[in-house]
Amino acid sequence: MDRTIRQVVIRGQVQGVGYRAWVEHQARTHGLEGWVRNRRDGSVEALFSGPAETVASMVALCRRGPSSARVETVTDEAAGIDALNLRRAGEGFSLLPTI
């Protein structure tokens, strides 16, 4: 099984609408590892690790987001294992503080 790590930044009306909680729920439901956090510039940043096909599906879901969000753009790039290590010890998927 081919595993991948992708980092995404979602821009639009994505803070204050439950976007992070939605990402966390979707990622856990799909068995992905990683993290999600708000950024001070108003965007949401997330990292997904898992089977390539599942990660790609999660990135596609982020382009829509929850019904209360208005996603304008999603940037998606490869990331390394060091980025995955930002999650909290013992957690598969973490909700991180704003940066």
Q: Residue 75's CB: how many other CB atoms inside 10 A? A: 11
Class of residue 35 by CB neighbours under 10 A (exposed 0-12, middle 13-18, buried 19+)? buried
Catalytic residue list contains 85? no
Annotated catalytic residue within 6, 11, 28, 38: 38
Q: Tokens for 52, please give them.
A: 């390539």
Inter-residue contact 98 to 40 (CB < 8 Å): yes
Catalytic residue list contains 28? no
Distance CA 78, CA 31 (A): 19
Annotated catalytic residue within 20, 40, 64, 88: 20
Distance CA 92, CA 99 (A): 20
Task: Enumerate the active-site residues.
Answer: 20, 38
